[in-house]
A = this chain, B = another copy of it.
Amino acid sequence: MARKSGSHGEITGPRILAAAERLIARKGFAAVTMREIAREVGVQAGALYLYIPDKQTLLFDLMRRHMEELLAAWEAEPKGETPLEQLEAFARFHIRFHLARPDATFISYMELRNLEPENFARIEALRKRYEDILEGILKEGSAAGVFRVPDTKLATMALIAMLTGVNTWYREGGRLSRERVERIYWNMVRRAVKG
């Protein structure tokens, strides 16, 4: 029997990615088995291979999707005119986007070393494109005398680390609203680079 109940064609493919994302974020890629993922989807382990070639590709697909959605979401974002407005847009966008996808964010920062070299290079390339966005804003603002940053690359890494750090402690329904967190972080970012 193919399944206990329900009909075929009930989109199993996407459910695999969703289940894998949840499990890998919680336990780590190496600690999650294909059988666990299958159980979460409600299917036997062998059935996973109708949708993915192997476990490594599953991880790569999750990370690539996350990075591509990140870049696409920024493209669709209202940018602002001045470097200061752009920096605020970026800071708020970064917090908002990553807080909305805690699992994917966690995986993309923690599981890099479980990617095979070629896959690693491709994810790193996407990440660099994202970092270049922030560095571009900082460079422009530096040239205009609005920002004072001795090293734009270093400032880029510092600000992204700080902003991504929100994910490690923020909890929905906690003491602070997302809007309030955004404002406080934006204030720290602004003051950290203000000329």
Choose among B29, B162, B181 the residue that contacts A162 (Cβ–Cβ < 8 A): B162
B168 to A151, Cβ gap below 8 A? no
Instruction: Let me know if A188 and B155 touch, CB within 8 A.
Output: yes
Query: When each residue 93-135 of chain A gets 1 if its CB lies under 8 Å from chain B and 0 otherwise, what string results?
Result: 0000000000000000010011000000000000000000000
Bits for A147-183, please: 1 = Cβ < 8 Å to B, else 0.
0001100110111111011101100000010000100
Question: Which of B113, B157, B181, B193 interacts with A165 by CB under 8 Å?
Answer: B157
**Bound CA span A29–B31, Å:** 9
Contact of A161 among B151, B168, B189, B192 (CB under 8 A): B168
With A181-B154, A191-B192, A193-B188 known as contacts, the answer to whether A165 contacts B176 (CB < 8 A) is no
Please give me the 5 A-B residue pairs with the lowest Cβ-Cβ distance, nearest first. A161-B165, A30-B30, A162-B162, A188-B192, A192-B192
Indicate if the CB atoms of B176 and A151 lie closer than 8 Å: yes
This chain's copy number in the assembly: 2
Interface of A is mostly: helix
Could you give 29 example pairs across A and B, Cβ below 8 Å? Answer: A28-B29, A28-B30, A28-B113, A30-B31, A31-B114, A110-B110, A150-B184, A150-B187, A151-B176, A154-B176, A154-B181, A154-B184, A154-B185, A155-B184, A155-B188, A157-B168, A158-B162, A158-B166, A158-B185, A159-B162, A160-B165, A161-B164, A161-B168, A165-B165, A188-B192, A188-B193, A191-B191, A191-B194, A192-B192
Q: Determine the chain B residues whose CB is within 8 A of the CB of A158 once the complex forms.
A: 162, 165-166, 185, 188
Task: Give chain B residues whose Cβ lies under 8 Å from the Cβ of A191.
Answer: 191-194
**A63 → B minimal CB distance (Å):** 15
Cβ of A35 < 8 Å from any Cβ of B?
no
Q: Say whether A26 faces chain B, with CB atoms less than 8 Å apart.
A: yes
Across-interface contacts of A176 in B (CB, < 8 A):
151, 154
Instruction: Report B-chain residues with C-beta under 8 Å of the C-beta of A164.
Output: 161
